[in-house]
Structures are given as C-alpha cells and as structure tokens.
Structure 1
C-alpha cells in the first residue's frame, strides 16, 4: 500500500456502540455521499451485545481534508485493512451496505474470504442491484447540476439547505467521487462468495427495481433471503420501524448461524 494513502484504523472505522463482550459485530458501509454518522442512531434498536461499527470514507466530515477514493480497487482493500483490529476474536461479523455501500460490502466480504480465510456470518445488501448486472439507468454526470438533481431524486439525507451554494462545495466532492466509483465498478465475470446474503429493497425505488435486487441470489453459494418494504430508495428512513424490525431479525439469524463458522478457510471464486 502506497505511503500517500490515508491512515488506516480509527480514522476509517467508527464504533457507534461499544460492547465489552460483543456477541456479534455489524459493520455498516454508507451510500454514495454518505457518512458513518448515518448509522449512529441504530445503536438504540439493535440487539444487545451488538458491536455497531461504521466506515467513514475519506473526503467527508472530519476526513474532509483527505482525498476521496474513487475506485473500488482502492476502497475495498483499505476498508478490509482498517477492519483487521476488530477481527481479533471469533465474534460473528455481519456486513450491511445501502446503495453504493452494498457493492462495497460485497467486495469486503469477498476479500475477507479470499485473502483472510474468514467468511462473514452474513451480508445484508440494500437498495442496489447485484454488481454483475447492467444498470437500469445511466449514472448521473459529474456536473454540480447533475449531481444535485440525482440527490434530490433519491431523497434521503440531503435536504435542499445542504445543497445551497456555500454548503454544496463541501458535499459534492465526495458525492462526485462516489458516483465515479459506482460508474466504473464492473466485476466481470461474477465472483461468488460463500457468505449468506439477505437483500432489502423499496418497492417504489425507480432506480433499483425490487425484482432485480432479488438476483443477489446469484452472488452466493450460501443461503439467500430477501424482503421488500414500501417506499423508495431511502425506504429505511421512510419506514424506520419496519426496517429496524427486519434488520434485527436478519442480524440475529445470521449471527446465530455463523457463530461457529467465522473462520472457514474457504476462498471465494475468482
């Protein structure tokens, strides 16, 4: 790893709730333009004994002075390296990724299996088609107007005041880098993992049709389940109570199933 890359460790991984004797760990990978703080409130409803971790990508909030990462080949290995201090025991690890974060979470799971012989207990992907499928629509261009239009279309964490002149200069560089990452991410051929996968989707998400989200079944040789919610791309904010209920169910099921299989020694295909 080159010396000009951002430091690893605490700068990448944020602990939203510390458990002295964690029974499981949930690592959250944010959406395009997202931050680790997006998951902070989840500590109030996740099961007791859950060590809640979030990734803070460079180029935003307290890492705003660092250069953004705009390729998956750079981003996923750095996340995996930063995660290593949190894998010093056999606590089951579940990965969650929303939108762009679903693809990052998939690559993190694949690298953990392939390079470290550690299969996560589960991968929960949200509001994203599997990476081997062609996109339903063209990704937005990189002009300010195109990026702002896309953020307003998907809704979620970006309100109009955040996108006004003066603040947009702080927000848009990381959004631009993240959309560049997803635009150029195309893992061909499909590289399967053995990690069990659960897929979530909003039935009214026009950019990510729910029936295509179900095709995440093709990325794993493990078990697969899916669940749909009312709402659009950020259904998890629109229907937080139902999302929390389904997340709890998925995390507990995966952690329970994976408690005795956190180290598999198996490598992913590819």
Structure 2
C-alpha cells in the first residue's frame, strides 16, 4: 500500500490494532532509530477494548523519503497535532515511551495538558531518566562508527539486523537525527505534569541506572509507580511476558483512575500476556 501523504495525521499515527468501540487508547512512542512496527506484536497481549496506536517518525520505513526531525520543539507538537483525530471521544489515553520515546511521550503529555486541556490517563516511561537530570555519560558522536558502537552497546542482538551492510545506510540517518534530538534536549528544567507516571527499567541497564529512573516521581503531581525487570536496555524484549503483564496492570490502573474521575464507564479487562 502507498504511504499516506506527509502532511496527514495518518502518516504519523499508525493503528496496530483497531477496536470498533475502544474503551482505552494506548499510544506508543518509539525509541531512537525505532519505528511504529516495533509495537505490532503488542496487539496479541493487550486487553480487549484497547486501541493500539504507534507513532511513525519521519525518515524511516515508508516515510524514509521525508526529512528526519531532530529537535523536540518540532517533534512533540507535530505528534500532538497528528493525534487530534484520535481524541474525539472520552476514551482514556495512556502514553508509552521507551528510551528516547519516554521523553517524547512526556512532552506530548505536557502539551496535551497545557495547550489542549486534555490530561492523559497515564504515562508509562521505560528505560530513560527524567529530562531534568543530566545524562549519566556523554552522548556519542555522529560518525557512522560511533553510532554503530552505541547501538550495539544499548541494543545488543536486537540491533544486529539493522546494522547489516544492506540496511545500515538506510537506518543511520534517522538514528543520527534521533541522537541529536536527545543530546540537545537534555537536561531540561524540572517541569511537572499532573498525568500519573509509571516508570519501568532493566536492572542491568548500565546507561540508565534504575535509581535515576525512579526520579520520574518528581516530574508529576499525580500518582507514581515503578517496576524493575531483569535485563538491560531492551529488557522488554528479553522478558516480554513479564513486561506485558506489568504494562497491562499499569494501563488498567491508570485508566481505572481516569474513569472514576470522569465516570466514563466500564474498562477493558486485563488479560494474560500472549492471549486476546
């Protein structure tokens, strides 16, 4: 199928699973170098009644001919604008972001609260420190060798296929732009949102120490929860079943709180990972 025109919201927001009468929407923001398709398999373990949406950043896969976005001030507002057609009812919205996506999700939640008067039901941040903290170490340079080394350090076997000679030249421009975005974005002044936050991380992630991930609690005036997993930066692939169970519990808890405040009715039932 041909890709959507770059100017349309459909080119940004992909439905990984469509629910006719969605009672909950989960919007996923990919990591640096990531794509919307990273979340395709989640449809098999999310609860019934959950509309699964993912953001496709420009400059990759079917949007590879479009210029990459390399600043948060450009990226987050464009995501929020593209999201508007999916906010035409009162279904609770939960945001999920892994690594770079955690910062994008935070800024999207902040813009929704400040500029659109809509507070998400919850924000789930994964494998990332809050943006008001300085980075644990220096960001890598922008040469191909430096980018490849950083991808392998963080992603291990997950990144090996994308770094094969036939794909490397297609992948590295978007990775370079994403790394530039996170380098220029961090650190930020402490800014709080009212959206509840759940923070997740792998205990063996050397680049994102768990004790710093827990400081997301200072970024919200709402409720805060946290959970650790075995594994490194991509613990969510290494321990998918445990991760799926925790995400299901988090979104049900967040959406439940939202429904009690807005009296919107019944929520999706939390299922077992790997089952619909």
Same fold (TM over 0.5): yes
Post-superposition shift, 1:202?
0.3
User: Which residue in the other structure is 1:59 paired with?
Assistant: 59
Structure 2 match to 1:166: 166
Name the structure 2 match of 1:259.
Answer: 259
Gaps of 5+ in 1: 264-270
1:116 equivalent in structure 2: 116
Would the alpha carbon gap of residues 120 and 161 (structure 1) be closer, same or farther in structure 2, given more than 3 Å must change?
Answer: closer
Which residue is 1:242 aligned to?
242
TM-score, structure 1 length as denominator?
0.93
Q: Which residues in structure 2 correspond to 1:92-241 (within 5 Å)? A: 92-155=92-155, 158-186=158-186, 188-241=188-241
Distance of 2:203 and 2:18 partners within structure 1 = 34
- SS of 2:165's partner is coil
SS in 1 for 2:221: coil
Kindly tell me the number of residue pairs found equivalent between the two proteins: 259
Distance of 1:50 and 1:169 partners within structure 2: 36
Q: What secondary structure, in the 3-state scheme, does the structure 1 residue paired with 2:212 have?
A: helix
Task: Report the CA distance shift for 1:262/1:78 in structure 2 as closer, same or farther (over 3 A).
Answer: farther
Query: What is the CA RMSD across the aligned residues, in angstroms?
Result: 1.6
Please give the alpha-carbon distance, in whole angstroms, between the structure 1 residues aligned to 2:262 and 2:171: 37
Q: After the TM superposition, which segments of 4 or more aligned residues of structure 1 sit over 6 Å from their partners?
A: none
Match of 1:91 in 2: 91
- Contact 2:195–2:220 (Cα < 8 Å) also in 1: yes
User: How much has 1:15 moved relative to structure 2?
Assistant: 0.3
| TM superposition score normalised by structure 2 | 0.91
Task: Measure the CA separation in 1 of the matches of 2:193 and 2:162.
Answer: 38
Determine the C-alpha separation between the residues in 2 that align with 1:108 and 1:83: 10
